[in-house]
Structure 1
Amino acid sequence: MKQICKLLILFFFFGNITAQQIDDVDFKSVRANLNLSSELEQVDGMYTVEFKVLRDIDSLFLDAKNIQLTSQVSEYSGIARDFNNIVEERSIKAQIKDGKLWFYDDFKAGTRMALRFTYSASPKKAIYFVDDQIWTQGQGKFTSHWLPSIDDVNDKIKFDLAITAQYPNSALANGRLVKKERFGDLTKWTYSMQQPMSSYLVALVIGNYSKKTETSKSGIPLEYYYYPEDSLKVEPTYRHTKVMFDFLEEEIGFPYPWQNYKQVPVKDFLYSGMENTSLTIFSDSYVVDSIGYNDKNYVTVNAHEMAHQWFGNLVTATSGEHHWLQEGFATYYALLAERDIFGDDHYYWQLFKNAQELIAQEEAGESTSLLNPKSSSTTFYKKGAWALHVLREKVGDSAFKAGVSSYLVKHQFATVETMDFISEVEQASNKDLTAFLNAWLVDSKLPEDAMVKSLKQSEFMSDYFSVDCQLYNEKCDEYVVSDVSDKVKVKVISQMPYQIEASAFQNSLQVRQAISQYVDKIPFQLKTAYESLLNDKSYVTIENALYNLWVNFPQDRVKYLHKTKDIIGFNDHNIRLLWLTLNLNTLEFQPDRKQDALNELIGYSLPQGSFELRMKAFGYLKLLDAFEIRSIESLMAAAQHHNWRFSKYAKELILELETKPVYKTIIDSLKQKQP
């Protein structure tokens, strides 16, 4: 009866997966020889697709959004291994209709066939031409906008790409580089995959990169790409990568399933990172120096995308109802990898922060089932990770790891549903998991009591919960100079920022950063100690301290500006942009160079900068009320940017500027010039 109830529950959420083309044809492999033009933002391809017909049909299709055929479609009686091996060619009737490339013929069950054609595409999504870079993003965007493929994740295909790029650029794709050929100022890079994958995981990157390589304990090449000018940032950016890779292989209990693992940063990426098979693409805002590492680093994103190589790439959820099998698992295993490096306190602290976000979501009335395909990222990622943490506590380490391993072995290079995983853990643990299934996966209500109980197993978290200066009449300032954890000290500072003394500054980087964040009204007796924050190896601390000191001690503004004049900060120039703004508001500092400072600030808002840099520059120009025609023109261009966060910000700021007559005149004039 319990098993019947379980199946009914799952049917309620999962429904029937509609039988589609996968019942008619099994696509085996795709080989594409690609030429890409940054100037035309165009893709031209020579394409071969191999498949097996599963039952008699008169048509089949590939998804092909806004793609045009530039040759006839040819069929081979033998399998074409490359474009020079043409065997018994004959034409096949083909038509592009409603975003699909249809092939019409008398396709007989059991037949293996290969079709060949050339095509051209001018895609508006899924591939992006950003300055001197070209990069892709298939998840949620559909690879079929630039490469004929199958949008259904349930059809896994072996993809081999050959990419021709301008020298000295590098061209990266999934799999192993098997050939590199130079033709004048062009280079052709040929990549080969050994195993199939869903089409959304196909990827390419073209850009000017250097490379550093390590080898995992199991012999897998780990390739770290970087801009040539960022050689000093390679170590802090990719710090702990090999350690995390080795840990995940051992912890998951299934060998890394691909030939190599490459990671490459790109400009103006849509997300933090994307786990394309064997080729993670991530935002270059995570490329940091040794100081930036202390504030914002790539470790968590790195571990998350790495874990996806198993959970999402090796086994892929059949549909949105099971999306937690990808994001929840990647989040959980990233936490485990970080726990291995940073310890138990870090692990429980991250769980606690995730719990806070989930509770806030529930208090806002937005909590949903983990099996609801319309759930938020917070639910899929963080509730999913919590569910796995609690499940492991329930069944024990041994059974949990055995269940995960058998789940991956049984469903490798295939698609999965939630019960595929649950049944393996039930078998490994010899426990019925119906109650767990209902509480954590089916029910939309958050099991807060269970979360608190689990967190309190950590002595560190118990100590953290026990300190609350707002509820208890304690001498909380004593905590800041005691031997308690830094997290407790930060909590105390956040609750009573104006009761700290100079001795509080004799603390770690993290605690000093909290002082810079929460102590914005600086007593004179703390002035000297507070000024020492400008020497910290933290761009966040320096930014906060510079602003707070400038506000609190006007008589020393010139001193503070002199001290910080050469500090840039993160890739978004956080300290430099603040410095320029404070410069423009400090009349006695470099009075004959104010226009230079303003021009530099305006320059950061122009299109050659990253969207994070431009967005921050726009914010300061708004604060200074200093927009002019160049920056407004750049803002209007930003409203059409491919990154939705940036375009949304720009559109809202334009509406705000239009309320001022002087800006509205400029905006109206520029609109008239637009095509």
Structure 2
Amino acid sequence: MIRVCLIFLLLLSFFGFSQQTDYVDFKEAKVEISINSKEKQVEGHIEYTFEILKDVDSIYLDAQSIKLDSMQLLEIRPHIHTEYIGIRYQNNSKQIIVYNNFKREQIFELHMNYSALPKKALYFIEKDEGNQIWTQGQGKYTSNWLPSIDDMNDKIEFDLSITYDKDYEIVANGNLTDKKTNEFTTTWRYDMEKPMSSYLVALTIGKYNKKVENSKSGIPLEMFYYPEDSLKFEPTYRYTKRMFDFLEEEIGVSYPWQNYKMVPVKDFLYAGMENTSLNIYSDAFVVDSIAFVDKNFVNINAHELAHQWFGDLVTETSGTHHWLQEGFATYYALLAEKDIFGEDYYYWRLYEYAQELLEQDKAGQSTSLLDPKSSSTTFYKKGAWVLHMLREKVGDEAFKEAVKNYLLKHQFKNVKTDDFMGEVEKASGQDLSEFVKVWLNNKAFMYDKAMKSLKKSTFIQEYLMVDCEVETSKCYEYLSSWISDEAKSKIIFQNHELIKKEAFINPLKVRQAIAQSLSDITTDLKADYESLLNDKSYITIEAALFNLWRNFPEEKTKYLNQVKDIDGFNDKNIRTLWLTLALITEDYEPENKKSYFDELTDYTSSKYGYEVRQNAFQYLNQIKACNDACKENLKQAGKHHNWRFKKFAKTLLK
């Protein structure tokens, strides 16, 4: 035992000075798993093929608390024979270490049977509409349910075969090649053709329908949706094909995978995740036509799609170069939206990013873009700004040539910032060392330079010109003028006293600003403000309902009846507010008070998505009506896998 521990310590010391990828290349993984949702268990068989690059006496797979049932090592000798090798290994609950006298150019297969009870990375979701199972590898490590390589520098071709209840759909990386159903289960076989980092291995299990549309280049775009959400399909997946076709042309490199699948899931950890060929995203972005105005899937879809090139095809070597994934995905998603919504939208979003980065600077929280501990604001939004400024500096032609060469040269490999900047210097003929120093190495965001770039847009010039905190004489007239909705909204938020009847004769976004900013409603504006309850915006309706209910107590019943049947977004923002107001409105349907209270309390249970639960908890807490059932649900929420919701619940429990 002492000798084994000593070998393990020596191994850790050895790999501390060099990556395993210098010594071994895992090439292919044939994975067969069956999932037991009752026991929350994964049982699997894996066959890894790997090549020895340098002589070494041990190799490892990452395996977090995985039970290893059996293992075999085979040496593959082309045109001769396959030979089983006597094997010695150790499973220390973090890694499976295989000891052997491995020699350069040898090729092996490693076969293993295992089981796992994953605490993270693979999640079991239980809802009334049906169970779901989904994965999240990035930041959580696929090795919690599949012995694999956490180091993103080793890219492997994964072929997944997954067995589960026959009444459910299974979606995974790659192309579905076969389905076999027996009495109780179905086995789904997926094939990948190219390698990827292990954190991008993914699967989803749930009850879905799907529609398929081919891109201009012939790539199948598989769009999944819940059977009950057929009417939400079009607004949810609006512009998908257009964005795909745009990005292929703009990037200049063909989409590198067999298909592109989009699958919504419940209680997801993030907005979306760019698993190779499989975008798993939060069903909060499954929307109807009204919700589309304020909260849609377009940006998330474009962002995760852009990652298929920037992150999946070429992958950072380490967190130091994380902006090569998130900055690029943010920038190219913005370009795709620019193609749809126009140039003003593009500059407006850049302006919003700049303001967020400025606030980060003021808070003393800014870091270099090459700091692996940087914030998401830095990686995503500063990264996008760097690409915008770089393109301005070198020109469209050189920029696009550099991006294309960068992707083709490093496809299915890992990259550093110098790899990209080197291609830009070659394509442009410019020395970009000063640009790197100012925009990448510098902690501060170059706000003045960014604003100079933004002012090339007449839309931004106009927005900056309108400032009612400095000059108020023309602001009332601006509200009925030709200026942009963004500029008018700015005026309203700066000085809501300027709101007169004429201000309501404006497009939806301006009316939304009125609903959100004008909390004290005068009698002469009452009828105009009431019209906001008919707007096609769940944000507007929510704000208008509360403000009207508060300002005109004698007409509470009228307002409650008017929006009684509206749920709002998937988080039931309007319904939960409505229930709360109905409960505290004296004499409003007293015979239904109990059912309304029961409904609001029920929304705190795990049957619902965490966004719905959070709204219900907040309202019940505000009216001091969180009963024993609510409190028990709150305790349960304090153990939720979504860290934001868990933090919210723990804070409320204090």
Q: Structure 2: how far apart are the matches of 1:279 and 1:386?
A: 27
Are 2:115 and 1:120 aligned? yes
8 A contact 1:513–1:541 mirrored in 2: yes
Provide the residue aligned with 2:497 in structure 1. 498
RMSD of Structure 2 on Structure 1 (CA): 1.4
8 A contact 2:75–2:106 mirrored in 1: no
Give the aligned residue type for 1:343: G
Provide the residue aligned with 1:94 in structure 2. 89
Give the aligned residue type for 2:132: Q
**How much does 1:506 deviate?**
1.5
Provide the residue aligned with 1:210 in structure 2. 209
**How much does 1:17 deviate?**
10
- Structure 1 counterpart SS, 2:257: coil
Provide the residue aligned with 1:295 in structure 2. 294
Q: Deviations over 1:22-57 (max 9, x none)?
A: 111110011110101111111100110000111222
Q: Structure 2: how far apart are the matches of 1:579 and 1:23?
A: 61
**How much does 1:323 deviate?**
0.6
Provide the residue aligned with 2:7 in structure 1. none
Give the aligned residue type for 1:327: E
Give the aligned residue type for 2:314: V
**How much does 1:112 deviate?**
1.0
Q: Structure 1: how far apart are the matches of 2:327 and 2:55?
A: 40
After TM superposition, the structure 1 = structure 2 runs for residues 553-564 of structure 1, keeping only pairs within 5 Å, are 553-564=552-563
Are 2:14 and 1:19 aligned? no
Give the aligned residue type for 1:638: A
**How much does 1:189 deviate?**
0.5
- Structure 1 counterpart SS, 2:587: coil
8 A contact 1:75–1:92 mirrored in 2: no
**1:432–1:636 Cα change, 3 Å:** same
Provide the residue aligned with 2:547 in structure 1. 548
Provide the residue aligned with 2:149 in structure 1. 150
**1:395–1:17 Cα change, 3 Å:** farther
Are 2:363 and 1:382 aligned? no
**How much does 1:70 deviate?**
1.5
Instruction: Pick the aligned partner of 1:106 from 80, 101, 109.
Output: 101
**How much does 1:477 deviate?**
1.5
- Structure 1 counterpart SS, 2:119: coil
**1:639–1:73 Cα change, 3 Å:** same
Q: Structure 2: how far apart are the matches of 1:607 and 1:417?
A: 43
Q: Deviations over 1:229-270 (max 9, x none)?
A: 001111111111110110000000110000000010111000
Q: Larger deviation: 411-420 or 489-498? A: 489-498
Q: Structure 2: how far apart are the matches of 1:417 and 1:71?
A: 38
TM-score (norm 2): 0.95
Provide the residue aligned with 1:364 in structure 2. 363
Q: Which runs of 5+ in 1 are unaligned?
A: 1-15, 80-85, 656-675
**How much does 1:74 deviate?**
4.2
Provide the residue aligned with 1:665 in structure 2. none
Q: Structure 2: how far apart are the matches of 1:603 and 1:503?
A: 43
8 A contact 1:404–1:421 mirrored in 2: yes
Q: Structure 2: how far apart are the matches of 1:113 and 1:407?
A: 32
Q: Deviations over 1:286-326 (max 9, x none)?
A: 11111111111111111111100000000001011111000
Provide the residue aligned with 1:347 in structure 2. 346
**1:570–1:335 Cα change, 3 Å:** same
- Structure 1 counterpart SS, 2:409: helix
Provide the residue aligned with 2:580 in structure 1. 581
- Structure 2 counterpart SS, 1:158: strand
Provide the residue aligned with 2:3 in structure 1. none
**How much does 1:76 deviate?**
5.2
**How much does 1:88 deviate?**
5.1
**How much does 1:106 deviate?**
2.3
Q: Structure 1: how far apart are the matches of 2:512 and 2:184?
A: 50
Q: Structure 1: how far apart are the matches of 2:354 and 2:398?
A: 25
Provide the residue aligned with 2:240 in structure 1. 241
Give the aligned residue type for 2:103: K
Provide the residue aligned with 2:432 in structure 1. 433
8 A contact 2:317–2:415 mirrored in 1: yes
Q: Structure 1: how far apart are the matches of 2:641 and 2:563?
A: 34
Provide the residue aligned with 1:129 in structure 2. 124
**1:608–1:69 Cα change, 3 Å:** same
Q: Deviations over 1:60-118 (max 9, x none)?
A: 11111110111233425469xxxxxx965455222212511111222221111111111
Give the aligned residue type for 1:463: E
**1:108–1:406 Cα change, 3 Å:** same
After TM superposition, the structure 1 = structure 2 runs for residues 186-585 of structure 1, keeping only pairs within 5 Å, are 186-585=185-584
8 A contact 2:314–2:415 mirrored in 1: yes
Q: Deviations over 1:345-380 (max 9, x none)?
A: 000000000000000000001111101111101001
Q: Structure 1: how far apart are the matches of 2:59 and 2:75?
A: 16
Q: Structure 2: how far apart are the matches of 1:114 and 1:78?
A: 11
8 A contact 1:160–1:192 mirrored in 2: yes
Q: Structure 2: how far apart are the matches of 1:474 and 1:331?
A: 39
Give the aligned residue type for 2:102: F
Give the aligned residue type for 1:280: N
- Structure 1 counterpart SS, 2:190: strand
8 A contact 1:72–1:91 mirrored in 2: no
Aligned-residue sequence identity (percent) comes to: 57
Provide the residue aligned with 1:669 in structure 2. none
- Structure 2 counterpart SS, 1:262: strand
**How much does 1:498 deviate?**
2.2
Q: Structure 1: how far apart are the matches of 2:277 and 2:286?
A: 20
8 A contact 2:75–2:107 mirrored in 1: no
Q: Which runs of 5+ in 2 are unaligned?
A: 1-14
**How much does 1:19 deviate?**
2.2
8 A contact 1:328–1:382 mirrored in 2: yes
**How much does 1:591 deviate?**
1.4
Q: Structure 1: how far apart are the matches of 2:415 and 2:447?
A: 29
8 A contact 2:121–2:136 mirrored in 1: yes
